Amino acid sequence: MEEILISGLVTIVTASCPLIFAGVGEVVTERSGVLNLGVEGMMAMGAVGGFAVAHISGSADLGLLASIVCGMLLSLLFGFFTQYLLINQVVSGLSLTIFGLGLSALIGRDFVGFSGLGFPSLFPDFLRDIPVLGRVLFDYNYVVYLSLLSPFLVSWFLFKTRAGIVVRATGDNAEAAHSLGIRVVKVRMLSIMFGGGMAGLGGGYLSVIYTPLWVENMVAGRGWVALALVVFAAWRPILVLWGALLFGGIAIIQLNVQAFGLGIQAQYMTMFPYLATVLVLVVMSKRSIFQKSPRSLGRLFFAD
Amino acid sequence: MMDSTVLSLRGLSKSYGAKRACWKVDMDLKKGCIHGLLGENGAGKSTLVKMMGGVVRPDEGEIAWEGESVKIRSPLEGRRLGIGMVFQHFSLFDALTVSENVVLGLPPDWHEGEVDEEIKRVSEIYGLEVDPKKDVYSLTVGERQRVEIVRCLLQNPKLLIMDEPTSVLTPQEADRLIEVLVRLAGEGCGILYISHRLAEVEEMCDEATIMRHGEVVARVVPKEEKAVLMASKMMGGSYEKRTREGLVKWDVGSDVVLSMEGVNCDLRPEYGVRLRDVHMEVRSGEIVGIAGLAGNGQDLLGSVLSGEVLLEEGGLIKFFGEEVGGIGVVGRRRMGMGYIPEDRQGHSALLNFDLVGNGVLGSDSYEGLWRGSWLQKDKARDFAEGIVKEYDVRCPGVDHQASSLSGGNLQKFVMGRVLKQRPKLVIAMQPTWGLDVGAASLIHGYLIDLAREGCGIILVSQELDELMTLTHRLGVLSEGCMSKFYPTGEIKEEEVGLLMGGLDKDFAEEVKLC
């Protein structure tokens, strides 16, 4: 029993990682007033780019770096369309997902069937050998710790730094931000790129560390879950962390439903993140402005 | 004497397409001087100010700051020079706290902690109370404006530009604001004060520029010029202040059009106040005024009268003797109740719809527009064009979006839409709010004509002048309670003021008797 709990906990944490990365990134993007529905596509590109570079160079770190770059490049495309050509964000985002999934499959053809590299744990053996705690707390690689830390860093950034206030102001009222001399398009481009990089890293984590191999459609809807997560967490990075652990946990349970002997269809589990998000929205809808989306979310901006 | 000019404009022009928003404007703003900028809506005031602040770039002309020619390419550059602006529509961020809002207007080397101290300091000096920790969305309009002013003041501006600052304030708040501005001017700050309220300009401005159709038509010293003259220059023609005697001289009919008996309405989250035991009666051909400061239940009263909020908590609303408290908006409109909401942009008109669409919406009782469920497109067009023609709506055409109309013209359109349906009762909520003198007097004219033809009118307004000149009887709404109704000729403004202050009815009665 203890073994099941420990391994369950560990798998939940590792399964949540990509959700945390992508979710936290998207929080920043959306806080700046941009709705990027291309998370799934950016994750796919991150996954294939990361795996390819890791496979060719033999360095997993380099692979992760490449996944960030791939996510960012794809998000740049989105940013160019929405911020400069002023194309509808929903349409651009959806196209980005379709495009990213297709392109990643194309690039990934040559990498199917290879297995990835090992990835060492961050902490030395004597820490990992501590009974129970060692496995639950110290048996992860540095990327996992980074993902657990990122919500706090981003939260600090958004709520405590001037740049963070600028991002939130841009998402709240772009016109007013412009009149205060904030360069709205620049702020939004940077936020989009951050979101893209984080989504790419989430994808890279999947292919380089988690599985580790490349198959088509390996992101398997995690990008959509991350999007739901942002709403679920009311655009707060730290809540994204808890939400990701919850949704990640559900995903694990879904895999282990039979092992646990529960009579629940796997499909219900797949539905859970979205159902939970809708429920949270219903419950919170009248509470306060902080449960509402950034006011400029999804709206195009251009200066006179 | 040293040249005290802070900002001077020479031949500043800006066009949007074929429309000249500003044309060769010259202006000099001096230190320690309150300069009024007057003009009707659409006269080009806002465009001019935006060019000064760097929000909009001029096509032509020169701007000189303290004697040196400058180009203000962005709001940031404007602020660096020392130009502080308080806009007509607030440029605050609802989701941020007061101090976060203020920080954004300051140079990057400020820290939030220091800012809180500074906000407290400045707000104490000028009596502009604001709590730096509060979220902006929870503030009232007056408080928001204070935040904007404090934000400007922290930048130590040499020139403060205020775009129609009092149009959103209660009379008391407006008085306080004027005190602050006079004080700032006394300290050497130049102030450009944009308004269409002549009385204010007359009271506080040292000099004034009047604009019309994008051009400067006059420069005056308001304290020496008569308000009537300024108004006529603003409107480019003759202007007469309406008096009660010249207007309200038709007989009120004997039919009771609408009566409210003991109407109660509980608190709803979107309205701040509940209605308690409201009584009211409107006869045919009668204009009944309801005074009161904003936020005393006017919105809820309007919604209860229009049918947007149905009566559930007791009381009766009767329209020609028939109980309508449970009938919705469409039903009441078909019975002949016309409603003109306070918020033109979004409540009474859809800004992204063209005028044809806006004409059709809310006109279901107009004959010929519909055949069954099918809209008669050319009829709808004729209908909208008819409104535009009959009610002097100035617009590029009925195919244009409602958002392209100025506030005054949009209000005329909304008004026309209601009046074309020949209502027997019109509920007008602050119909001239934020409108210039010209548009306001047209709207007043329509209301008068309507009443003359026997329509009952409920006029809810914060402008006491308007109520005093137009209405037959007058009541005051204070914290959701309706006072008695007094014949307008028999109650003085001060007495209405007391009722507005929420004084006990009996006490107010005593005051009246004295």
Asked whether residue B452 falls in the same domain as residue B319, the answer is yes
Decide if B17 touches A, using CB distance below 8 A: no
* Nearest by CB: A165 against B53, B90, B103: B103
Is B341 a member of any domain?
A: no
What are A239-245's contacts with CB under 8 Å, separation 24+?
A240/A20, A240/A23, A240/A24, A240/A27, A240/A151, A241/A20, A241/A24, A241/A148, A241/A151, A243/A19, A243/A23, A244/A16, A244/A19, A244/A20, A244/A23, A245/A12, A245/A13, A245/A16
Phi and psi angles of residue B122, each rounded to the nearest 5 degrees, phi first: -65, -40
Q: Please give, rounded to a whole number of angstroms, the shortest distance from the CA of B91 to a CA of chain A.
A: 4
Binary contact (B104, A177; C-beta < 8 A): yes
Q: How far apart are CA B338 and CA A207, in angstroms?
A: 65
Coil, strand or helix: which one is B256?
strand
Asked whether residue B175 falls in the same domain as residue B117, the answer is yes
Binary contact (A169, B96; C-beta < 8 A): yes
Phi and psi angles of residue B76, each rounded to the nearest 5 degrees, phi first: -60, -45
Asked whether residue B416 falls in the same domain as residue B428, the answer is no
Asked whether residue B119 falls in the same domain as residue B147, the answer is yes
Supply the pLDDT for residue B88: 60
Asked whether residue B170 falls in the same domain as residue B223, the answer is yes
Query: Which residues partner with B219 through β-bridges?
Result: B209
Q: Which two tokens stand for residue B316?
A: 């009766």
- Residue B69: domain span: 5-235
Query: Which residues partner with B20 through β-bridges?
Result: B15
Binary contact (A180, B90; C-beta < 8 A): no
Supply the pLDDT for residue A285: 60
Q: How far apart are CA A205 and CA A17, in angstroms?
A: 8
Residue where a domain stops, chosen among B210, B235, B260? B235
Q: How far apart are CA A203 and CA A64, in angstroms?
A: 9
Determine the residue among B104, B134, B139 to mutate to test chain A binding: the one whose Cβ has the most chain A Cβ atoms within 10 Å: B104
B contacts of A162 (beta carbons < 8 Å): 103, 108
Decide if B14 touches A, using CB distance below 8 A: no
Beta carbons of B456 and B282 less than 8 angstroms apart: yes
Supply the pLDDT for residue B513: 45
Distances from the Cα of B124 to the Cα of A11, B92, B185, angstroms: 57, 21, 18
Supply the pLDDT for residue B273: 72
> Locate tokens 């009222």: which residue?
A173
Report which residue type is found at A232. Answer: F
Beta carbons of A169 and A49 less than 8 angstroms apart: no
Supply the pLDDT for residue B107: 78
Binary contact (B92, A304; C-beta < 8 A): no
Sequence-distant (≥ 6) Cβ neighbours of residue B1 within 8 angstroms: none
pLDDT at A67 over 50: yes
Q: Please give, rounded to a whole number of angstroms, the shortest distance from the CA of B111 to a CA of chain A.
A: 8
Query: Which residues partner with B374 through β-bridges?
Result: B371
Q: Please give, rounded to a whole number of angstroms, the shortest distance from the CA of B18 to a CA of chain A.
A: 16
- Rounded mean pLDDT, A13-35: 95
Asked whether residue B365 falls in the same domain as residue B483, the answer is no
Binary contact (B93, A294; C-beta < 8 A): no
Binary contact (A162, B108; C-beta < 8 A): yes
Binary contact (A179, B55; C-beta < 8 A): yes
Is B275 a member of any domain?
A: yes
The number of C-alpha atoms within 13 Å of B141 and in the hemisphere containing its C-beta is 17
pLDDT top residue among A262 and B46: B46
What is the 3-class SS of B406-443, one letter each residue? CHHHHHHHHHHHHHCCCCCEEEEECCCCCCCHHHHHHH
Task: Return the percentage of chain A with pLDDT > 90, whole number.
Answer: 58
Biggest alpha carbon–alpha carbon distance for chain B: 77
Closest CA to B365 of B419, B324, B402: B419
Sequence-distant (≥ 6) Cβ neighbours of residue B361 within 8 angstroms: B350, B353
Domain A2-291 annotated CATH 3.30.200: no
Closest CA to A162 of B116, B115, B104: B104
**B60: CATH:** 3.40.50.300
Q: Which two tokens stand for residue B208?
A: 């004034």
Closest CA to A170 of A191, A156, A154: A191
- B54: closest chain A residue by CA: A179
Q: How far apart are CA B395 and CA A208, in angstroms?
A: 62
> Quick one: how far is CA B411 from the chain centroid?
11
- B269: closest chain A residue by CA: A286
Closest CA to A296 of A144, A91, A89: A89
Q: Which two tokens stand for residue B315?
A: 């009381």
Asked whether residue B75 falls in the same domain as residue B221, the answer is yes
A contacts of B94 (beta carbons < 8 Å): 172-173, 289, 295
Q: How far apart are CA B314 and CA B296, in angstroms?
A: 20
Q: Which two tokens stand for residue B180?
A: 């602050």
pLDDT top residue among A158 and B39: A158
* Nearest by CB: A304 against B56, B91, B96: B56
Asked whether residue B308 falls in the same domain as residue B370, the answer is no
Report which residue type is found at A192. Answer: I
**Residue A119 pLDDT class (50, 70, 90 cuts):** confident
Binary contact (B92, A295; C-beta < 8 A): no
Asked whether residue B290 falls in the same domain as residue B398, the answer is no
Supply the pLDDT for residue B127: 79
pLDDT top residue among B330 and A189: A189
**Neighbouring C-beta atoms of residue A112, cutoff 10 Å:** 12
Q: Please give, rounded to a whole number of angstroms, the shortest distance from the CA of B145 to a CA of chain A.
A: 14
Supply the pLDDT for residue A153: 97
pLDDT at A42 over 90: yes
Is B149 a member of any domain?
A: yes
Find the chain A residues whose C-beta atoms sit closer than 8 A to any C-beta of B: 162, 165-166, 168-169, 171-173, 175-182, 286, 289-290, 294-295, 304
Sequence-distant (≥ 6) Cβ neighbours of residue A29 within 8 angstroms: A35, A36, A191, A192, A194, A195
What is the 3-class SS of B301-346, one letter each residue? HHHHHHCCCCCCCCCEEEECCEECCCCCHHHHHHHCEEEECCCCEC
Cβ neighbourhood burial of A5 (10 Å; 0-12, 13-18, 19+): exposed
- Vertex A281 angle, CA A278 and A283, to 5°: 110
> Quick one: how far is CA A199 from the chain centroid?
5
Residue where a domain stops, chosen among B421, B441, B469? B421
Decide if B441 touches A, using CB distance below 8 A: no
Q: How far apart are CA B11 and CA A180, in angstroms?
A: 26
Q: How far apart are CA B413 and CA B416, in angstroms?
A: 5
Q: How far apart are CA B350 and CA B343, in angstroms?
A: 11
pLDDT at A79 over 80: yes
Q: Please give, rounded to a whole number of angstroms, the shortest distance from the CA of A140 to a CA of chain B.
A: 38
Split into its structural domains, chain B has a count of 3
Asked whether residue B431 falls in the same domain as residue B417, the answer is no
Beta carbons of A101 and A217 less than 8 angstroms apart: yes
B contacts of A290 (beta carbons < 8 Å): 95
pLDDT top residue among A198 and B430: A198
Query: Which residues partner with B425 through β-bridges?
Result: B337, B456
Sequence-distant (≥ 6) Cβ neighbours of residue A65 within 8 angstroms: A53
Q: How far apart are CA B431 and CA B444, in angstroms?
A: 9
Binary contact (B91, A173; C-beta < 8 A): yes
- Rounded mean pLDDT, A125-135: 82
Is B219 a member of any domain?
A: yes
Instruction: In chain A, count H helices and then E strands.
Output: 14, 0
Decide if B242 touches A, using CB distance below 8 A: no
Supply the pLDDT for residue B2: 46
Please state the ipTM of this predicted complex: 0.80
Q: How far apart are CA A202 and CA A223, in angstroms?
A: 9
| DSSP assignments along A60-127, one per residue | HHHHHHHHHHHHHHHHHHHHIIIIIS---HHHHHHHHHHHHHHHHHHHHGGGTT-B------SS-HHH
Beta carbons of B459 and B289 less than 8 angstroms apart: yes
Q: Which two tokens stand for residue B82?
A: 């020392």
Report which residue type is found at B87. Answer: F
Decide if B85 touches A, using CB distance below 8 A: yes
B contacts of A182 (beta carbons < 8 Å): 104
Beta carbons of B90 and B40 less than 8 angstroms apart: no
**Residue A24 pLDDT class (50, 70, 90 cuts):** very high
pLDDT top residue among A62 and B299: A62
Decide if B351 touches A, using CB distance below 8 A: no
Asked whether residue B331 falls in the same domain as residue B476, the answer is yes
Beta carbons of A45 and A71 less than 8 angstroms apart: yes
Residue B219 region by backbone torsions, left for phi larger than 0, else alpha for psi between -120 and 50, else beta? beta
Binary contact (B95, A168; C-beta < 8 A): yes
Query: Which residues partner with B375 through β-bridges?
Result: B370
- Rounded mean pLDDT, A166-173: 94
Coil, strand or helix: which one is A269?
helix
- Vertex B112 angle, CA B111 and B117, to 5°: 100
Residue where a domain stops, chosen among B194, B213, B235? B235
Pairs of CB atoms within 8 A across A/B: 63
Distances from the Cα of A136 to the Cα of A2, A10, A50, A152, A250, angstroms: 12, 6, 27, 20, 18
Determine the residue among A170, A172, A185 to mutate to test chain B binding: the one whose Cβ has the most chain B Cβ atoms within 10 Å: A172
Asked whether residue B90 falls in the same domain as residue B157, the answer is yes
pLDDT at A19 over 90: yes
Residues of chain B where predicted confidence (pLDDT) is lower than 50: 1-2, 505, 508, 511-514
